[in-house]
Amino acid sequence: MASPTELMLEDLSQKYAAMPVANAYLRLYENEKRFGRIFASLHERLNDHFESINDRADTTHHYWADSSREMIALIREVDDVLGALKSADVVVDFNEKYRAAMGGCRVWLKGSGGSVVPEDFEQIGIVKYEPVFALSGMVARLRKRNADVRLQLIGEGSYAKVFSFVDPDYGIKFAIKRANKDLAERDLHRFRQEFDMLKRLSFPYVVEVYKYDEDRNEYMMEFCEVTLREYIKRRNASLRFAARKRIALQFLYGINYLHSKNVLHRDISLQNVLVKTFDGGAVLVKLSDFGLVKEKGSEYTRTKTEMRGTIPDPMLASFKEYDVRNEIYAIGHVLSYIFTGRGALMSGDNEESRIVRKCTAHDVADRYQSVLELIKDVEKLDVNPAGVPG
């Protein structure tokens, strides 16, 4: 049997379940499943009265009799709800300005004949776009600064520039990718499409994006220290094969995730794979630069579009016909560099070279037919192979 406290809370929720509440207020409390409708109802009715009282204070200084009685009852209702929740150990933070405004109105409101709004009445600041009720412990006060931050240019391409900056509130470095001002409308559409696609994807080995600025045509993203090319180049003499294998697998897991979502990157390269570094030598590989991304079945690619991509497959006749096996060709070049740190494709007799050759075979039918198939072979690699750095 439910406890008396649970029964009381259930009755309280049921009381407000049938009350009409505007969506404009319900949306403010959508994360508070149990008491959200209660808070939205009280918030909406408080705003209705506060707006009316503000108006009467500017005109007749008289608040109607019926409205006065309703406001007195609403003040009592707010007190009762907060008291009932407190008795059930549910402590609610109530906006201090609203609490003070309620207390101020309590002084001059009359139950009959209407109420005289005091001459020294101060207008009540109406809160419409953020909650005024919140469960205690569920609120964090965030500083918001309007100060400009200094950007540092860290990358530049045909379509966009990438900057880094340190957020003054959090002390964390982020990146901003900004479309070039002279970008053609079609390429600007692709730039926004890149953000929308990345926003939908959620995977450890895909770069994370946060917010798009329509005015500047730019978006915020997580900061990664270096490209895959630079990371391996700087460490090539000392990077052990076990570390190379982990990097290769993270890279492949990211691509396999995209393909599982019916997404083709179409511009796999050493520049478009980033590396996020951590203390102790740990790294995370992050796929980035989704400007040429294409969902399976999408018709966005023009029939006579030019061949694009950093590592073009010589066997691909039309960019419109690009499929998984063409992606695997570019993957083979990246894997070769991960394993050796050299630009030329591997050509030895070891298992790593065999994998690379299969990725880049001239006959697409001889290539890996899926990244998952490729992953299985890379996972089997000996971490102490002969003829490979480390």
Residues annotated within the binding site are 177
Whether 274 and 283 have beta carbons less than 8 Å apart is answered as no
CA distance 119 to 100: 18
Quickly count: other Cβ atoms within 10 Å of residue 82's Cβ.
17
CA distance 54 to 56: 6
Per-residue DSSP letters for 7-20? Answer: HHHHHHHHHHHTS-
221 torsion bin: left (phi>0), alpha (psi -120 to 50), beta (else): beta
Q: Which residues contact 157 (CB under 8 A, 6 or more apart)?
A: none
Element (DSSP H or E) covering residue 277: strand 273-277
Cα maximum dimension of the chain: 99
Which residues are annotated as part of the binding site for ATP?
177
Q: Which one-letter amino acid corresponds to residue 8?
A: M
3-state secondary structure of 227: strand
